[in-house]
Amino acid sequence: MLLRFGVVPVVVFSSKEAAKEVLKTHDLDTCTRPKLVANGLFSRNFKDIGFTQYGEDWREMKKLVGLELFSPKKHKSFRYIREEEGDLLVKKISNSAQTQTLIDLRKASFSFTAGTIFRLAFGQNFHQCDFMDMDRLEELVLEAETNGCILALTDFLPTGLGWLVDRISGCGFGGSECGNNHNDLQKVEYLNMVIKETFRLHPPSPLLLPRETMSDIEIQGYHIPKNALIRINTYTIGRDLKCWSNPERFLNTSINYKGQDYKLLPFGAGRRSCPGMNLGITILELGLLNILYFFDWSFPNGMTIEDIDMEENGALNKTLELIPTLPSALSDGSSGWR
């Protein structure tokens, strides 16, 4: 789909064939990022690896994070951090289980994920840091997410005009569907299937991060000029009848979701694909295993599954409050899943 936002052509690709042409055949022609106002603000003027333009700086950063954060050796050496944070998550939920009080699963998962990434990236324990406040951090992440989706007119209208309209208009930037009647092995297999299907039906990034063409190219027979903004619509591809026989149902396929199969791209593909993929998957599996293996879950009084708001709004601001119960076989103070 070709749109024109002000003076900028914006092309949205919603088929796996087009995604493959962009991310594989023309990866090198499309692997820079456009300088969008919102992204500049929370990436310290495009210095962040995710929003910096393609070139020497990006290549250096990619090499550095590949060695220092995401290599298999580092991944292994950070295991104790993931385990300690997993134990903390289990303890927190156990406390609620013992008093039979509600726990906000979104907040608990956020704390587990942010705690792990914070320690890994900054070498400091988030929970022992006086100057860090988890609620405030969550607000900041939400704000960054929301701003990431905002399109400012400054990005699309000629210099001055868009900026003026943005100021006047106030464009100031400043649960998966699962049951639990499974034994342990089934739980693990089931969990992997749930993760894959959640990636397909509810991709964390429904549109991959924006790319910009660095030269004139042709995709699916269409001419795309240099400096066009490109978006890959993974949400639509994940529900495309041409790719999936029954898109609304769990499919239980052995499909690859790490960027080799262009009908399932939760982490993108090509040069700008997610370098934190293995860490992300490990955190997700560990968090979910701890939540599902150690606890049974029930709704608060009077609530049914229909009351859960499954609508997506593109941000992480939905609460999911449930009551955990410790199965009797496990109520001996076990620590987290390793």
- Tokens, residue 289: 């295993």
Stretch in the footprint of ligand HEM (CB under 6 A) among 76-84, 170-178, 242-250, 274-282: 274-282
Tell me how far apart the alpha carbons of residues 167 and 161 are, in angstroms, rounded to a whole number. 10
Tell me how far apart the alpha carbons of residues 163 and 153 are, in angstroms, rounded to a whole number. 7
CB–CB of 70/248 below 8 Å?
no
Q: Is 175 in the site for ligand HEM (CB under 6 A)?
A: no
Residues contributing to the annotated binding site for heme? 274
CB of 223 to ligand HEM, least distance (A): 23
Question: Of these, 11, 36, 89, 274, which contacts ligand HEM (CB under 6 A)?
Answer: 274
**Nearest CB to ligand HEM, comparing residues 149 and 164:** 149
Question: Of these, 25, 192, 273, 335, which contacts ligand HEM (CB under 6 A)?
Answer: 273
**Nearest CB to ligand HEM, comparing residues 70 and 156:** 70
Closest CA to 322 of 91, 98, 139, 96: 96
Contacts of residue 238, defined as CB under 8 A and 6 or more positions apart, other chains included, come to 199, 200, 201, 203, 244, 247, 263, 264
Q: How far is CA 209 from CA 267, 274, 290, in A?
A: 10, 10, 30
CB–CB of 317/281 below 8 Å?
no
Q: Is 268 in the site for ligand HEM (CB under 6 A)?
A: yes
Q: Is 207 in the site for ligand HEM (CB under 6 A)?
A: no
Question: Of these, 191, 208, 228, 230, which contacts ligand HEM (CB under 6 A)?
Answer: 208
Q: Is 288 in the site for ligand HEM (CB under 6 A)?
A: no
Beta bridge partners of 157: none
Largest CA-CA distance found in the chain, in angstroms, rounded: 67
Q: Is 272 in the site for ligand HEM (CB under 6 A)?
A: yes
CB of 216 to ligand HEM, least distance (A): 21
CB of 309 to ligand HEM, least distance (A): 22
Q: Is 280 in the site for ligand HEM (CB under 6 A)?
A: yes
Kindly state the helix (H) or strand (E) to which residue 287 belongs, with its residue range: helix 277-294
Q: Is 266 in the site for ligand HEM (CB under 6 A)?
A: yes
Q: Is 275 in the site for ligand HEM (CB under 6 A)?
A: yes
CB of 115 to ligand HEM, least distance (A): 13
Q: Is 206 in the site for ligand HEM (CB under 6 A)?
A: no
**Nearest CB to ligand HEM, comparing residues 165 and 206:** 206
Single-letter code of the amino acid located at 247: P
Contacts with ligand HEM by CB under 6 A: the residue count is 18
- Tokens, residue 179: 């049951």
Q: Is 282 in the site for ligand HEM (CB under 6 A)?
A: no
CB of 51 to ligand HEM, least distance (A): 7
Q: Is 49 in the site for ligand HEM (CB under 6 A)?
A: yes
SS3 labels along 70-92 = CCHHHHHHCHHHHHHHHHHHHHH
CB of 119 to ligand HEM, least distance (A): 11
Q: Is 323 in the site for ligand HEM (CB under 6 A)?
A: no
φ, ψ at 300 (rounded to 5°):
-65, 160
Contacts of residue 89, defined as CB under 8 A and 6 or more positions apart, other chains included, come to 108, 109, 111, 112, 287, 290, 291, 336
Q: Is 284 in the site for ligand HEM (CB under 6 A)?
A: yes
Question: Of these, 267, 293, 294, 295, which contacts ligand HEM (CB under 6 A)?
Answer: 267
Site for ligand HEM in 115-134 (CB under 6 A): 117
Contacts of residue 248, defined as CB under 8 A and 6 or more positions apart, other chains included, come to 201, 239
Which residues are near ligand HEM by CB under 6 A? 49-50, 117, 204-205, 208-209, 266-268, 272-276, 279-280, 284
